[in-house]
Amino acid sequence: MDRIVPGCVRSSRRGRRIMTTQALSSWITLAKDALLIRPRPFEEMAFGRATLRPAIAVVLAVGLIIGLIGALAGVGELVRPQPFSVDDFMTQFEESLRFSESFATDPQAEEFMVMYRDSARAFAQAIAKIMELPTPLPGFFGRLLKWVGAWLSAPLALLGKWFFVSIWIMLFARLLGGRGSLLGYLRASSLSALPHVLGAFAFLPAVGGLMALVGSVWGLVVNYRAVQVSHGLSSDRAVLAVLLPYLVLLLLAAILVGLMVGLMLAGIFSGAQT
């Protein structure tokens, strides 16, 4: 006789749990309520069973959807691959050098830029020759394997990003007085991956960038609710816990850029004096 568990049916023949329509409907409702920032799904995830499996399942499922959208967008390249163009590569390379060339005022810097440009062209020509070499697999099957690999790597990339960001947010939440457990917060914060599906449409010409931005901001708002519910923080402290990791990262990036620009200017001025 089959034993029924919430949302699943256990098969007596194979001993496997099969998801029912009711279970799928409950997951869809949970995702919809999370996207609407309602407290119930976050409470269920944060204070449910002490296991990380539902959180990992949510993130991997979202990653598979993101990867599938990107794979479907790249079907054209799978059938008709774009050849590597040395001229196109050098055009993009020249555009990236425009800012650096404004600092190349002395002869030594100009000579370095010429050598740098020649090296880039030689590199591009080498890549073009490598692309023309025969491969063990026919071209289509090689591209097919790469296409499938790009699709299946999306869930793992999203899983790593989610875990890394969640650990930092957890740290700041604790510093701000949060009382929740790491497991409870990770379960609740997995729902913040849902809006990032919009980022998969970044390839669209006019609205892709806007959709990706909306997905990122929406994900932060969902994460805010996860912090607030799982840690019992006030609204302002939950906002700080979510934003502080990104603000610290921006501050470190600004310091690094400032140091690089300072070293570049110091080198130019010292070269001009000699």
Which H or E element spans position 117?
A: helix 107-132
- pTM for the model: 0.68
In one-letter notation, the amino acid at residue 44 is E
Q: Are 117 and 152 in contact (CB under 8 A)?
A: no
Q: What is the mean pLDDT of each run of 10 residues along the chain (274 residues)?
A: 41 49 86 94 90 91 92 74 69 67 60 72 74 60 72 87 93 94 94 95 90 95 96 95 94 90 76 61
| Residue in the block written with tokens 């309602």 | 38
Q: Under 8 Å CB-to-CB from 152, ≥6 apart: which residues?
A: 67
The pLDDT value recorded for residue 189 is: 95
For the chain, the 3-state helix, strand and coil shares in percent, each to the nearest 5, are: 75, 5, 20
